[in-house]
């Protein structure tokens, strides 16, 4: 990582909140399309579903705050396998503001929160991705 990403350049927003000119590039980071919302209403610039948690991890987590720390550890292992997508997000955020759009009700314990931390601080050290998934 050559240049640090400014914190203010990475925002989070629920898909059900109206878009704003202050959002910058709006990027959906969920694997599934948000329910009952049109493409036009989301006003996305990109949909990066390949950086979203796997279906298996998403179902295991179930937005249970008691599983949050383990979810972040497992999600980091998955993102580690898509390092190029993480770097793409970092590069965009170094240049301009981006908004990670998500659909979870829990605004504190979701993949976008974890992903924002990975963008700003980097991924935790990964020994081997396969060991992390066990």
pLDDT digits (tens, 9 = 90+) for 21-31: 999 999 999 99
CA distance 32 to 40: 16
pTM greater than 0.75 (yes/no):
yes
Assigned token pair, 52:
């979203």
Do 101 and 13 touch, CB atoms closer than 8 A? yes
Q: Which residues contact 122 (CB under 8 A, 6 or more apart)?
A: 1
Residue 71 has pLDDT above 80, yes or no: yes
DSSP 119: H
Q: Which residues contact 3 (CB under 8 A, 6 or more apart)?
A: 94
Residue 105 has pLDDT above 50, yes or no: yes
In tens, the pLDDT along 80-101 reads: 999 999 999 999 999 999 999 9
The DSSP secondary structure of 85-110, one letter per residue, reads HHHHHHHHHHHS-EEEEE--S-SSSS
Pairing relationship of beta strands 46-47 and 25-28 according to DSSP bridges: parallel
Helical axes 68-80 vs 83-95, angle rounded to 10°? 100
CA distance 6 to 70: 26
Residue 111 has pLDDT above 50, yes or no: yes
Do 14 and 29 touch, CB atoms closer than 8 A? no
């Amino acid at each position: 990582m050559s240049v640090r990403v400014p914190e203010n350049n990475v925002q989070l927003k629920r898909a059900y909140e109206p878009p704003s000119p202050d959002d910058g590039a709006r990027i959906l980071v969920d694997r599934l399309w948000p329910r009952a919302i049109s493409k036009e209403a989301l006003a996305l610039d990109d949909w990066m579903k390949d950086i979203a948690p796997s279906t298996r991890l998403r179902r295991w987590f179930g937005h249970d705050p008691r599983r949050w720390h383990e979810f972040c550890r497992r999600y980091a292992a998955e993102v580690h396998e898509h390092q190029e997508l993480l770097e793409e997000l970092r590069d965009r955020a170094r240049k301009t503001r981006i908004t990670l759009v998500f659909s979870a009700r829990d605004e504190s314990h979701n993949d976008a929160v974890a992903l924002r931390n990975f963008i700003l601080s980097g991924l935790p050290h990964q020994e081997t991705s396969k060991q992390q998934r066990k």
